[in-house]
Amino acid sequence: MQPYPKPFLNIQEYDVQESFIQVLKNRFKQYGFNQVKTPAFETYDLYSSVQGTIALDDMIKFISPDGKVLVLRPDVTIPITQLAISQNDEFEKEARYSYILDVFRTSFQAKYGYVKTQAGVELLGNPHAEADMEVISLAIDCLLDLEFTNFKIEMGHAGVVNEILRMLSLSKEQEDQFKQLIISKNFTGLEEFLSRLDIEPSMKESLLTIPLLYGKPDEVLNKALSLSLTNKMTSALHRLKEVFSMLTEYGFRDYIVIDLGLISSMSYYSDITFQGYIENIGKPVLFGGRYDNLAEQFASPIPAIGFAYDVDTLLSARSNPLPVREQVVIRFDEQNISVAMQLTKRLRALHYRTILSNRNEGASGTYVITITESDKTVMYEGETEPFNSEEQLLLLLQSLKEENTCNR
């Protein structure tokens, strides 16, 4: 058995993955994010010295020839933060980074072979609500570009739960239990848990209600504000309300729900957090949030927010059939090989995927061009059309392509 048995993608599956990635790259670029690539191998110290990130046991470790402990890239946010600090002495302006990279963790399911492809962005240097809106709207636009329609972005705020934990002064074991009750929306269990603590009845009502609030933003936020226990909690709720208002104005109101019990495994999130769900997929395809305090561990405080798509899960969420693999195959006889070669060169210059071969008949979705002394035709899906010139052929190819696109 192979040590990391990630499934092999066939040609068609690989094409779909590449088309997904290209759509994401294009949208990232439209929002002004510049693509970067971090090293596949990083020093163990980069992650072990940063709190709130990947569990140390979750990292795949190696010993370098000079005896240093290295890890395969388990996360992208931390090395990009380090990169941003090294390139910017003072963050007086924004820095926008995007990436499409593999990350490696032992906790990934066996079918992924300890490796998953992530596509994400990091926006550093802007602490304001419009930056939150910008990143979340980008996440929504990407899903729409990929032709997903039945999805929701759940928004929460780490400050709400963190403020509750500060008020309760729980042990580490109690904190973990409390968080698990919130994640599972276990009202009965949470009620029993709070009954064992010495807290006032009025506070208990808020603690039972606020972290379990979920649903329509206006209703959830108004209810939470009426029960808010501290100024910090109120400030967090107002930030959520401000960002939601911006997303509404941008036209994305219907894609947002509020989950005040949203808790990420990455404890470096300090403010707004969010995750994306697609209909009939039982786990998130998207994780993100604001992590204003992370860079402080590199001695350079920088406000930041970002997200990452789980590309593998995103691909598995497809409900429509895989697209056909469009290409052109040019067949010829000996007398017309020069003509066929020149046509091949021209089509490739026009960005057609073109194969010059008499042995390739072409699979579904292939335009088969035949050039012989007695025959000049283009065939697509069983339909054959004659042509007399290159210009006529190009018009035929464009017409067939547009017709095929409309019929999908």
Beta bridge partners of 70: 43, 62
Neighbours of 210 (CB within 10 A): 25
Chain-centroid distance of CA 208 in Å reads: 32
First to last CA, the chain: 40
Amino acid, single-letter form, for residue 366: T
Beta bridge partners of 236: none
Chain-centroid distance of CA 143 in Å reads: 9
Pairwise CA distance, residues 208 & 194, whole Å: 8
What letter does residue 350 receive in the DSSP assignment? T
Known binder of ligand: residue 122?
yes
CB 93 within 8 A of CB 251: no
Beta bridge partners of 258: 155, 215
Pairwise CA distance, residues 30 & 341, whole Å: 37
| DSSP codes joined into one string, 284-301 | -SEEEEE-TTGGGGGT--
Residue 99 φ then ψ, to 5°: -160, 155
Known binder of ligand: residue 77?
yes
CB 277 within 8 A of CB 152: yes
Known binder of ligand: residue 44?
no
CB 50 within 8 A of CB 299: no
CB 285 within 8 A of CB 309: yes
Known binder of ligand: residue 76?
yes
Known binder of ligand: residue 38?
no
- HSE, side-chain direction, 13 A CA sphere, residue 99: 27
CB 315 within 8 A of CB 16: yes
Known binder of ligand: residue 268?
yes
Binding site members:
75-77, 105, 118, 122, 268-269
Binding site members for L-histidine:
75-77, 105, 118, 122, 268-269
